[in-house]
Amino acid sequence: MKIGLFTFVDTPNDLTETAATANEQGFGSLWIPQVFGIDTLTAIALAGATVPDITFATAVVPTYPRHPQMLAQQALTVNAIIGDRLVLGIGPSHKPVVEGSWGISFDKPIRHLREYLEVLMPLLHDKKVRFKGESLSTNADISFDGPAPKVMMAALGPQLLKVTGRLADGTILWMTGPKTIAEHSAPTITAAAAEAGRPAPEVIAGFPVSVTDGSDEANNGAREYAAKAFAVYGQLPSYRAMLDREGYEGPADIAIIGSAGQVEERIRSLADTGVTTFAASEFGNSDQRAATRDLLVSML
């Protein structure tokens, strides 16, 4: 199991600095969300042009506001700029965002994502597609022959895991516990890939992580911090379903908190669930963040 960093950044320069430090410390990958701030792919083009070696991954770019042809062109361009080190993570976002912020119908998201991949993947690999679906119809050619990035889908539920296994390269999980990964996420996507004759898919699992001094007081404080910092994820239906499946009350329950030894043990145990890359989202006070980074570096 590989270890990467799942990191939120505010500016393109922040990403460049974060990536440079992570690369110097030996991390192999950096997973960067696309929320309501910077455009992640644009920032990756800037950072990747100056920071070598490390893999840059979007985690994830929402599909609804971007036609797959436009995203394919952008991803191919960015991947060429940074030397074939891009992983393109995509996902549907959430109904309150898609309909409330963008004014786009969230009707039949599984159909939307299946058709999206049926357009995106041929464009990335063959540079052309002829496709007529229910929600997407595309007759397109791309003249730029750049290297195709791997494509990871934010697939949580069984239907989307099966679509992803058949058509994409893996899944990016968040707010998904170890039991759920072992019994649901990993076997579902792996079986679908095998049935489609595709290679074994990657399973990227993002977890909030905080190394404390191991005392009850410090652990409880970190748990309270996690409950506030990640509260929104417990309110979004797709993540709520994963928390419920695991038997967790809220996002704080999924956070990996404790002494360095306790945290290391929990992280390493995820390899047995089918996780191929563990992506750590560090949180806590400055001392806890520093201790967390020290531990992660020691595990590389």
pLDDT tens digits, 11-49: 999 999 999 999 999 999 999 999 999 999 999 999 999
How far is residue 67 from each of residues 71, 115, 129, 137, 232, measured CA to CA in Å? Answer: 6, 11, 13, 10, 27
Whichever domain contains 294, its CATH number is: 3.20.20.30
pLDDT (0 to 100) of residue 296: 98
Averaged pLDDT of the chain = 97
CA distance 251 to 283: 13
Is residue 93 domain-resident?
A: no
State the average pLDDT over residues 127-133: 97
Is residue 15 domain-resident?
A: no
CA distance 174 to 290: 23
Is residue 49 domain-resident?
A: no
CA distance 59 to 73: 18
pLDDT (0 to 100) of residue 223: 98
Q: Which of 6, 29, 5 minimizes the C-alpha distance to 87? A: 29
Is residue 179 domain-resident?
A: yes
Is residue 267 domain-resident?
A: yes
DSSP 8-state secondary structure symbol assigned to residue 175: S
pLDDT (0 to 100) of residue 263: 98
Task: Kindly indicate the confidence band of residue 155, based on its pLDDT and cuts at 50, 70 and 90.
Answer: very high
Using a pLDDT cut of 70, give the percent of the chain over it: 100
Task: Kindly indicate the confidence band of residue 172, based on its pLDDT and cuts at 50, 70 and 90.
Answer: very high
**What is the count of structural domains for the chain?**
1
pLDDT (0 to 100) of residue 52: 98
Is residue 73 domain-resident?
A: no
Q: Which amino acid is at 272?
A: D
Is residue 149 domain-resident?
A: no
pLDDT (0 to 100) of residue 128: 98
Is residue 165 domain-resident?
A: yes
pLDDT (0 to 100) of residue 96: 92
CA distance 294 to 24: 13
**Domain, as residue range, for 285:** 158-300
State the average pLDDT over residues 251-279: 98
